Chain A
Amino acid sequence: MKAADLTVSTGSHWHSGARITDFSYNTLLALIPAIAMGLYRYGVCAAGVIGTAVASAMIAEAAMQKILGKPVRIADGSAAVSGLLLALLLPANTPAYMVVVASVIGITIGKLCFGGLGANPLSPALVGWAVLRITKPWAGYLDFDLALINYDLGFSMQYPLAVLKASGSSGLQDFNTWNLFLGNQTGGIGASAIVCVLGGGLYMIARGLVRWEIPLCFLLGVIIASCLFRLVDSAAYAGPLFHIVTGNVMIGAFFLSTDNSSAPINRWGMVAFGLCCGMITVVLRVWSVYPDGVVFACLLMSLFVPLLDKLKATPIVVRPTRAQITRKTVEGGASS
């Protein structure tokens, strides 16, 4: 047969049209309301933090890929997303050098050292944030009450979770859950815009870019754990709704814990992952020295992803496996 000028390949010869950039660009899109709320609240400072974080993450990624001799792939947008998520967790007046350090460390150590997009066991944004959090001299900048002391936005300028830590649930009289849900609370630039984050998260689920299992189970985990604490002592511990509408839980459930490479991909793995993240969050909020525990919960659970991914459906045998072939040979040998 004479070969014609044709393209030859294995199937499938159709493609759904999905691209890697779908994930990152849609995440950016989904976070626009939260960014807008942050800019409205904190003005140019917030813009500075977001800009610095995104730019330094992208530059760090491009530079590192150049140094490692890999193709430069910053156009896939994943570095921008990491930078943005990091910025949304920070208070609006975080000094620029801290932002740069966090996003460069997040991208280089958190991501490219492991081989880049898809191979990182931890989410780069969370690694960057955690580095800031555990660096002693900088801890004050991440304390929202201290950091945002110069702002008066017309609602209580106390960080709800810090109040909870200091005076138990009796100190929460001033907070109205609905107001908190609408984002009238201090906190990270975007993370505190609870309703915007929720809207963005639902958009991601509707587009099929975030699977629903992790966010839902994350929130469920928060509810379960906080109810358990409530059962023990309802005066000392806050209720589930308060936990959900404060701090980083919403952004954690929809955007931080669902980072593709540091989350499980099989259904029951995702369910377990989400539940554990949510429960550990509440446990950390109650027992750790930090007011919020979302980031550490996600980081901790990410380490268990290879294990959680073992919770998978067993492959369906449609083709004879090695064992079956051998068995058949024995039978065949006996009969012939």
Chain B
Amino acid sequence: MGLRAFCGDLPPRIPYWTGAVPVESLPLPQRATLLWREASPGDVGVAVGDSVQTGQNLAREGTGLFMSTVTGTVEEIDSLQGADAVEYAVVGIKTVEVDSYDSSINGIEDLANTAPEQILAMIIRAGFPGFDAVVQGATVETLIISALDQEPLTAVNAQVLLERANDVSDGIAMLSRATGAKKVVVAIPHNSAHAADDISVDQAEIVKVRATYPNGLPEILAKKQGAGLLLTTERNGTVGNTLVVSIEHLVGMVSCLREGRPFVNKIVTCCGKSGGELKNILVRIGTPVSMALDNLDVKLPPGGKLIINGPMHGYACFSDEQPMTATSDSVLVQKPAEVHRFESTACMNCGRCSAVCPVNLEVNLLGRFSEYGIFDKCAELGAENCIECGLCVYVCPARRPLLHLLAHARFVVKEETVEK
């Protein structure tokens, strides 16, 4: 459970992890599962029984990029409905021990003499996420490199900053050239003093950000740095001009483009029980969560929670076969007794939710309007801006499922916008 202060501390201080958490490599899984967001099995260009290479594009011609992170044989092609009502294409691959790499990913040796478009294309081809809008032709004005982890109990970026601060300047040089960003900002936690000296960058501005939640969330970083909207794709086009890249992905780009290898290994912070020690593991993308749990020697408690991407805005899995993706930062297991239970109480109008909301929403009203299906009011109050940080839920004394209500309102408002 979270921190319980004697003094009512608003906003609640939920600190990020600081300090070293050494990384241990996990072996290759026997079977890897790859997820492709907003795609259906029909978009997959391989069939069951085909053998695939690491880095190979599994997408049908012209449907985008869906990269295999392992070498092996396709066992299963399926689809899955995510909690956000988005369809995922699922491909299960039986892996072989030794990787053979797809030849379309090449290293870039002479950065200065390579065209920016070519660098960018190679970064995207190597499997780094978050460039959808750039692919659709949006321009990047501001590039924010975040050395903060998004969540408490996560030590991915913290560890990368400790280990590989030297590669950061190379990465920035590369990525700012590739994206043509006018402004580059490196956000580092306020309490990591020594890393600031290690990072020597001429073309970027280094800012210290207080290492408490939600300051590491991309939307908040962009807001605090006075940048524009985050780059996102909408059904009707792209919006925004700010790209936030985690430092783990940034140094990943440096290594991948040096060696001409795809981005297949991800650091994930695991926490077997609340208050327990953190452990960083390096896994192949597509590894099921159960392997991480075995490594921790944790049995899933019946009725407990398995949370990916942190206790505040992470999502609870329904299965331990869920694979890790390129954006999975952490795994947390909660015992049934630790699981926070929502209650069907009316809002008592204490105002804490609105006081903590980082985007200034009137959450008390939005929660009620959403509960009673008055969605035009939700739209008026700006429900679309909820970044699902979960702080309102964290502080609500009536224990209302506010994020659920807000997400529902956002979903409906969005659907109605599209229909109009």
Binding between chains A and B: yes
Chain A, interface SS category? loop
**Given A18-B396, A208-B8: A11 and B305 within 8 A (CB)?**
no
Contact in complex: A322, B417 (CB < 8 Å): yes
Contact pattern, A 1-34, Cβ under 8 Å of B = 1, otherwise 0: 1111111111111111111101100000000000
Is B350 positioned at the interface, with any CB of A under 8 Å from its CB?
yes
Count residues of chain A with CB under 8 A from any CB of chain B: 55
Beta-carbon contact of A2 and B7 below 8 Å: no
In the docked arrangement, what's the CA distance between A1 and B290, Å? 12
Residue of A116, A208, A318 with most chain B CB atoms under a 10 A cut-off: A318
Q: Looking at the complex, which one of A6, A22, A266, A319 makes contact with B351 (CB distance below 8 Å)?
A: A266
Residues of A contacting B306 in the complex (Cβ-Cβ under 8 angstroms): 4, 6
B232 touches A22 (CB 8 A): no
A322-B397 in contact (CB<8A)? no
Instruction: List the count of A-B residue pairs having beta carbons below 8 Å apart.
Output: 227
> With contacts A207-B8, A265-B355, A317-B385 known, is A13 near B307, CB below 8 A?
yes
A20 and B318 within 8 A (CB): no
Whether a CB of chain A sits under 8 angstroms from the CB of B94 is no
Of the stretches B36-44, B186-194, B246-254, B356-364, the one at the interface is B356-364
Please tell me if the beta carbons of B307 and A319 are within 8 angstroms of each other in the complex: no
**Secondary structure at chain B's binding surface: helix, strand, loop or mixed?**
loop
Selected contact of A8 from candidates B318, B348, B355, B360, CB within 8 Å: B318
Contact A315 B319 (CB under 8 A): no
| Known interface pairs A9-B316, A208-B8; A318-B395 also in contact (CB < 8 Å) | no
* Partner pick for A16 among B3, B379, B382, CB 8 A cutoff: B3
Beta-carbon contacts under 8 Å, B161-188 to A: none
B interface residues, how many (CB within 8 angstroms): 92
Check A265–B403 contact: CB distance below 8 A.
Answer: no
Q: A312 contacts the other chain (Cβ, under 8 Å)?
A: yes
User: A4-B300, A20-B397 are known contacts. Are A328 and B404 too (CB-CB below 8 A)?
Assistant: no
A93 on the B face (CB < 8 A): no
B55 CB within 8 Å of chain A: no
The smallest C-beta distance from A25 to any residue of chain B, in angstroms, reads 12
State whether A15 touches B2 (Cβ < 8 A): yes
Q: A118-B349, A318-B385 are in contact. Are A14 and B2 (CB under 8 A)?
A: yes
* In the complex, B259 has a CB within 8 A of chain A: no
A15–B394 CB distance below 8 A: yes
| Interface: A176 (CB within 8 A) | no
Asked whether A20 and B345 contact (CB < 8 A) given A4-B318, A8-B317, the answer is yes
A208 touches B319 (CB 8 A): no
In whole angstroms, how far apart are the Cα atoms of A333 and B199 in the complex? 43
